Structure 1
């Protein structure tokens, strides 16, 4: 798909139609419209929640207006790959992300602190986000470590990639996992020298074998968590998200719509995971429409680079291991057929070069089934050569990509160990993708990212511009892009990737959603981009967030 692909100007949907007319003019701003790299305005008008006019303040001089004080304004931001359903389902989990937890001792202490807050005798000690590649111990934690948190309560903590986890002996016992338990397909129960399971659960099927015993939060708790997540997103300037693997909640469409009735303002496209053993129901037109909608279906084809489970053609350095393929061709094709039949996207998690090759081989010659957005999305897409990017662009199928810069920023240690030298130049080649793939987005993958506050857009923008990791190490600096280009991958270009219509641009007909920054992200030094903060967020003409004075100086 060519880089200049455009969606049609959105039209008013039934759910957004307002009866009374309300008009508000905003002036005296530097308005990055999200239309292209250079389009800037200084004023705009919102009528009934939609941008009605965008232009120069001089054209409306003398009219009553909200004066934005010369500040920089961006379109409401889009996080094209994140996991609010997972966060709501595990809202009680302790955050164990770097840089606050960087050792096994620190992990154990954080989990002990969490245990002290539990009151229900059936509650598990849960955590998420640890990155063992940063641990001085140089290894994964095991049951021997987590049994020190509790010998009675089950303990489970997810690794930063959310593909693997570690649990204690009590959790293994509750799940019935012993030395004789066979490994799940595409996953492993890791074992010690004696053959006994050591609590390390490698890949999703192994994690689910234990996690399915965790008590499910009450529906009211889930809905309240979703509302709170929406408020946090607004504090980042994020007004729309794609939830990839939304069936972490039971009946996620109903849960998110219930949250919307309770105050969730975020636009949400849901992508339930494909499970061959539990086929998805066919969709109704109502399922695919509205502010909260089903956007597609997700297939997880392989693992993650940071723990060397991504499916690769050549073995990992100093290894004969090629990672893990998690599903077979028939299942991927079945998910694609369901997406075609139901008029939604197929999203395929593919990180390793062999997984990416498989996606192209399976779909490049098929006829697209969607207009205006790609029929097939590739999630993460770590290793993209020039030839592969051109292959996607020129294919009969329409492809889009949701990728990241926060990954190499936060997980540099893991990538340094996992990438072969010849792969490094093709790792997260954002400049190459920007030139080649029109429907392209940067995203957070929160909470499956090894950093606290991974959904801070400015953190990702700085990483895209500087191409440096958290420790200052350069990471393929040739693939750096400009601030404006990076912001397009959270606004106008991101809007081409998914069915989240009406967002991503300050343009006539789009949602009147925008973010006001506390400093001009286009003029601050490159090494200060990540310190720029959202001062205000407006959704459909209503201010939903204003940074309070006590927040000044607080950094993620």
Structure 2
């Protein structure tokens, strides 16, 4: 007998062999899909306790899976951290910080995130002097939208004991002003010089953030997610939430091994697998981001002598990667620029000779070359990419990349053509809009929020994008029990206001999620 039946539905699933004309009804028993077929065939499963939903012809599909999203950071901007992503100018951001300071006099450190100076009129990176104008009696630390650059005020530098003589860790930059003193701007591993002095969040606070983010995930139809940079305290919080049945969504946690500004790696985590919570991969950062010109390139960023930063040391990377794989853990490495991608692909190739069957993911894959894609395909490397970057960061890409780079930026079509397992994701809160349908729209139209096309020949179909947000996203996390509508799969599904396959590409983000189900239970309804 079924406890939930949805009928009169347009069933949409992206797994091989699925046919849309195979039925209009889905039956759920317990927490899994029992059957799919015609209403006349399945109505016998209805009993006194069955919830029956007439979908009115609307589309039912598997819940979305965001394969790269910093869940607690999304929640942090809703709870404890100031969100400055909406600031349209430096003055507006400074005003937001000043107002926050007045409203929260008891906060010992002011932390904020989200500015993107490329969208401001003068395009200037803020420094300590700007922050000092609005707050000079307590530390202020403002993270750029990419999270690879941050700015500290004078009090934050003093609290962190930073001077011009402070040693900068490998793979990082501390910028110096005209007075030959630190100007408050830090990038990559050097962020740790300041961030390690900020009072740490407690496990209780981290759990509050995760729950705050979860509500947004539900509203966007996201039923599974991967947090790709988990430190030891957050990992403990996730384990405790899992054990207390407080997660409420499928979570793949990827612990980070090398902390920013630290020389000693974190302890390797243990492999863990369940329907709700998985720890099967560890994370490395090989470079920064394109939007802040810290991704490692072979050529210069346009009109500069900058090539970004390569963060990893080859010997240590291979050593730590080998140790992780010996424990059954896979590797996920952030690599955006072509120089970083080449470094990671070559390292993965070497490790594949010893561990041919372990997970090897490249996070982002912003500027791969043809030879990189050929090697990835040959050695079974996968990727989680972010077409949503084109929407929100396209202006940065157009400003910082030469035409040759721009034409190969986030080349999803080329990646899929090589047969590489590809998932799509948001990397939120790097972007403010983490809606998978907006990411799908960007994957199809390849247009930024100002209407400019970025590498339009790399456009993919709506079906390909939806597959990358569902069954491919499950596969890249080594999950086979969800991601499709078929008997035996866990009952994580969504009801949409319109069929995305019959919606104009530029209207995809206007589709609404009407209901979200996790484990056969409705967790969101408009």
Output the TM-score relative to the length of structure 1: 0.87
Superposition map of 1:39-58 within 5 A? 39-40=19-20, 41-58=23-40
Q: SS at the partner of 1:147?
A: helix
What corresponds to 2:498 in structure 1?
Answer: 519
Residue-by-residue CA offset, 1:58-106 (whole Å, 9 max, x unaligned): 5335764321121111201110011124445674111111xx2121011
Determine which of 80, 86, 99 is the counterpart of 1:92: 80
Inter-partner Cα distance in structure 2 for 1:281 and 1:134 = 40
1:408 corresponds to which of 382, 385, 390: 390
Are residue 166 (structure 1) and residue 151 (structure 2) matched? yes
1:359 maps to 2:344: yes
Cα deviation for residue 510 of structure 1 reads 1.4
Matched, 1:255 2:241: no
**Does 1:192 find its partner at 2:177?**
yes
CA drift at 1:368: 6.8
Q: CA deviation digits over 1:20-73, x for unaligned, max 9?
A: x86322211111112149742422111120112123435335764321121111
- Note closer, same or farther for the CA distance 1:259–1:370 as it changes in structure 2 (3 Å cut): farther
- Of the three residues 43, 62, 65, the one matched with 1:78 is 65
Deviation at 1:174, TM superposition (A): 0.5
Structure 2 CA distance, aligned partners of 1:37 and 1:174?
60
How far off is 1:254 after superposition? 2.5
The number of equivalent residue pairs is 513
**Structure 1 stretch displaced more, 517-526 or 458-467:** 517-526
| Cα distance between partner residues in 2 of 1:242 and 1:335 | 21
Q: Compared with structure 1, are the counterparts of its residues 500 and 170 closer, same or farther at alpha carbon in structure 2 (3 Å cutoff)?
A: farther
1:12 equivalent in structure 2:
none
Structure 1: runs of 5 or more not aligned = 1-20, 548-556
Q: Tell me, yes or no, if the aligned pair for 1:297 and 1:335 is still in contact at 8 Å.
A: no
> Which residue among 82, 104, 112 is the counterpart of 1:127?
112
The aligned residue for residue 203 of structure 2 is 219
Match of 1:136 in 2: 121
The DSSP-based 3-state class of the residue aligned with 2:134 is: coil
Question: CA 1:202 to 1:37, structure 2 compared with 1: closer, same or farther past 3 Å?
Answer: farther
Separation in 1, partners of 2:134, 2:501: 47
**After TM superposition, where is structure 1 displaced by more than 6 Å over at least 4 residues in a row?**
none
SS of the residue corresponding to residue 383 of structure 1 reads coil
Higher mean C-alpha displacement, 274-283 vs 141-150:
274-283
Written as runs of structure 1 = structure 2, the 5 A alignment for 1:216-365 is: 216-247=200-231, 250-260=232-242, 261=244, 263-275=246-258, 277-284=263-270, 287-365=272-350
Matched-pair contact (CA < 8 Å) for 1:400–1:437: no
Asked whether the 8 Å contact 1:226–1:259 carries over to 2, the reply is no
More deviation, 215-224/59-68: 59-68
Equivalents in 2 of 1:526, 1:487: separation in Å? 13
Distance in structure 1 (CA, Å) of the matches to 2:30 and 2:296: 49
2:131 is the counterpart of 1:146: yes
Residue aligning to 1:156: 141
Contact conserved, 2:148 with 2:292, CA < 8 A, in 1? no
Q: Name the SS of the counterpart of 1:448 in structure 2.
A: coil
Please show how residues 344-493 of structure 1 align to structure 2 within 5 Å: 344-365=329-350, 366-367=352-353, 369=355, 371=357, 375-395=359-379, 398-449=380-431, 452-453=432-433, 455-493=434-472
**CA distance change for structure 1 residues 108 and 445 in 2, over 3 Å: closer, same or farther?**
same
**1:307 counterpart SS class:** coil
Shift of 1:322: 2.1
Check 1:352–1:329 CA distance in 2 against 1; reply closer, same or farther (3 A cut): same
| Closer, same or farther: CA 195–319 of 1 in aligned 2, 3 Å | same
Tell me if 1:67 matches 2:46: no
Aligned partners of 1:518 and 1:533 also within 8 Å: yes
Distance 1:279 1:501, change over 3 A: farther
After TM superposition, the structure 1 = structure 2 runs for residues 540-551 of structure 1, keeping only pairs within 5 Å, are: 540-547=519-526
CA deviation after TM superposition for structure 1 residue 439, in Å: 2.0
Contact 2:268 / 2:324 at 8 angstroms: preserved in 1?
no
The worse-fitting range, judged by mean Cα deviation, of 476-485 and 317-326 is: 317-326
Q: Residue 49 of structure 2 aligns with which residue?
A: none
- SS of the equivalent of 2:24 reads strand
1:111 to 2:97 alignment = yes
Q: 1:553 aligns to what?
A: none
Deviation at 1:253, TM superposition (A): 3.0
Q: CA contact under 8 A between 1:311 and 1:354: conserved in structure 2?
A: yes
Query: Aligned-pair RMSD on alpha carbons?
Result: 2.1
Q: Which residue of 2 aligns with 1:498?
A: 477
Task: List gaps (5 residues or longer) in structure 2.
Answer: 47-51
CA contact (8 A) 1:224 1:259 kept: no
- Match of residue 4, structure 2, among 15, 19, 24: 24
- In structure 2, what is the Cα distance between the partners aligned to 1:71 and 1:62? 23
